[in-house]
Amino acid sequence: MVTKTLVVMGDPQITAPPGRPRGAMLRAYDKQSGREVGAVWMPAPQSGSPMTYAVDGKQYIVVAIGGGAYSGEYLAFALPSSGTRPTGQEEN
């Protein structure tokens, strides 16, 4: 999914690196530089295209996740307020 400043996509597989529970990451990349600017942990991989919507000026990203023994669900993430940009990786 593409926003005004970001490209957002989920990792296609489940991983369990040291220091993080088994799951997959949803990552955001700066459109101009290609640099990863943020990442959040999800308990299962992305199973559908991310969607975006705004309420009262606040933008959200919703992603469907699921697969294997994990039943499907939607996760919603709020983007930072306008004027601010993610500066590093963030894990739930």
Could you read off the pLDDT of 45-91 as tens digits, one per residue? 999 889 999 999 998 999 999 988 888 999 999 987 755 444 444 44
How much is the pTM? Answer: 0.76
How far is it, in rounded angstroms, from Cα 68 to Cα 9?
Answer: 20
Domain containing residue 46 = 6-78
Residue 72 lies in a domain: yes
Is 67 or 34 the better-scoring residue by pLDDT? Answer: 34
Residue type, 66: G
Helix intervals (H) in 1-92? none
How far is it, in rounded angstroms, from Cα 2 to Cα 29?
Answer: 10
Residue 38 lies in a domain: yes
Residue 46 lies in a domain: yes
pLDDT for res 92: 37
Residue 34 lies in a domain: yes
How far is it, in rounded angstroms, from Cα 84 to Cα 62?
Answer: 20
Residue 85 lies in a domain: no
Residue 91 lies in a domain: no
Q: How many independent structural domains does the chain possess? A: 1
Residue 57 lies in a domain: yes
Residue 52 lies in a domain: yes
